Structure 1
Amino acid sequence: MSEVSLPLVRATDLAKTFDVSAPWLNRVIERKPRMLLQAVNGVSFDIERGKTLALVGESGCGKSTVARLLVGLYEPTRGGFSFDGVDAHAAFKTAEGRKLRRRVQMVFQDPYASLNPRWTVGDIIAEPLREHEILSDDSAIEQRVSELLQSVGLSALDRIKFPHQFSGGQRQRISIARALATQPEFLVCDEPTSALDVSVQAQVLNIMKDLQRKHGLTYLFISHNLAVVRHVSDQVGVMYLGGLVELADKHTLFDTPRHPYTRMLLDAIPKMHDTGKARTAVAGEVPNPLNPPSGCAFHPRCPHANARCSSEKPVMKPIGGIRVACHAVEEGRI
Structure 2
Amino acid sequence: MTALVQAHDLAKSFDVSPPWLNRVLERKPRVQLKAVDGVSFSIERGQTLALVGESGCGKSTVARLLVGLYEPTRGGMQFDGQDAHAAFKTAEGRILRRRVQMIFQDPYASLNPRWIVEDIVGEPLREHGILKEGPALKARVGELLQSVGLSPLDMVKYPHQFSGGQRQRISIARALATQPEFLVCDEPTSALDVSVQAQVLNIMKDLQRAQGLTYLFISHNLAVVRHVADQVGVMYLGRLVEVADKAQLFATPQHPYTRMLLDAIPQMKHTGRRRTPVQGEVPNPLNPPSGCTFHPRCPLANERCKTERPPLQMLRGVQVACHAVEENRD
**Match for residue 249 of structure 2?**
253
**Match for residue 148 of structure 1?**
144
Is the 2:126–2:133 Cα contact (8 Å) retained in structure 1?
no
2:79 is aligned with 1:83: yes
**Match for residue 238 of structure 2?**
242
2:191 is aligned with 1:195: yes
Query: Alpha carbon RMSD of aligned pairs, Å?
Result: 0.5
Query: C-alpha separation between the residues in 2 aligned to 1:304 and 1:137?
Result: 62
- SS across alignment from 1:135: coil
Query: C-alpha separation between the residues in 1 aligned to 2:258 and 2:144?
Result: 38
Query: C-alpha separation between the residues in 1 aligned to 2:7 and 2:124?
Result: 26
Query: C-alpha separation between the residues in 1 aligned to 2:281 and 2:167?
Result: 34
Q: CA deviation at 1:136?
A: 1.4
User: Which residue of 22, 45, 52 corresponds with 2:48?
Assistant: 52
Equivalent residue runs for 1:168-179 within 5 Å: 168-179=164-175
Query: C-alpha separation between the residues in 1 aligned to 2:239 and 2:12?
Result: 11
The AA in structure 2 aligned to 1:64 is: S
TM-score (norm 1): 0.98
Query: C-alpha separation between the residues in 1 aligned to 2:146 and 2:189?
Result: 20
**Match for residue 161 of structure 1?**
157
**Match for residue 185 of structure 1?**
181
Q: CA deviation at 1:137?
A: 4.5
User: Which residue of 289, 295, 298 corresponds with 1:302?
Assistant: 298
Is the 2:107–2:164 Cα contact (8 Å) retained in structure 1?
yes
Query: C-alpha separation between the residues in 1 aligned to 2:131 and 2:317?
Result: 46
**Match for residue 15 of structure 1?**
11
Deviation string 1:9-66 (CA, Å, 9 cap, x unpaired) is 0000000000000111111112211110000000000000000000000000000000
2:22 is aligned with 1:26: yes
User: Which residue of 211, 214, 219 corresponds with 2:215?
Assistant: 219
The AA in structure 1 aligned to 2:127 is: E
**Match for residue 101 of structure 1?**
97
Query: C-alpha separation between the residues in 2 aligned to 1:198 and 1:95?
Result: 42
Query: C-alpha separation between the residues in 2 aligned to 1:184 and 1:320?
Result: 36
Greater shift in the superposed pair: 313-322 or 253-262: 313-322
Query: C-alpha separation between the residues in 1 aligned to 2:249 and 2:209?
Result: 23
Where does the alignment leave 5 or more consecutive residues of structure 2 unmatched? none
The AA in structure 2 aligned to 1:266 is: L
Q: CA deviation at 1:107?
A: 0.1
- Count of residue pairs brought into register by the alignment: 330
**Match for residue 125 of structure 1?**
121
Q: CA deviation at 1:216?
A: 0.1
Q: CA deviation at 1:8?
A: 0.1
Deviation string 1:121-140 (CA, Å, 9 cap, x unpaired) is 00000000000000115100
Query: C-alpha separation between the residues in 2 aligned to 1:18 and 1:119?
Result: 33
User: Which residue of 260, 264, 273 corresponds with 1:264?
Assistant: 260
**Match for residue 208 of structure 1?**
204
Query: C-alpha separation between the residues in 1 aligned to 2:151 and 2:274?
Result: 46
Query: C-alpha separation between the residues in 2 aligned to 1:169 and 1:32?
Result: 47
Where does the alignment leave 5 or more consecutive residues of structure 1 unmatched? none
Deviation string 1:164-202 (CA, Å, 9 cap, x unpaired) is 000000000000000000000000000000000000000
**Match for residue 318 of structure 2?**
322
Query: C-alpha separation between the residues in 1 aligned to 2:90 and 2:241?
Result: 34
User: Which residue of 107, 127, 133 corresponds with 1:111?
Assistant: 107
2:271 is aligned with 1:275: yes
- SS across alignment from 2:72: coil
* Deviation >2 Å, runs of 4+: none
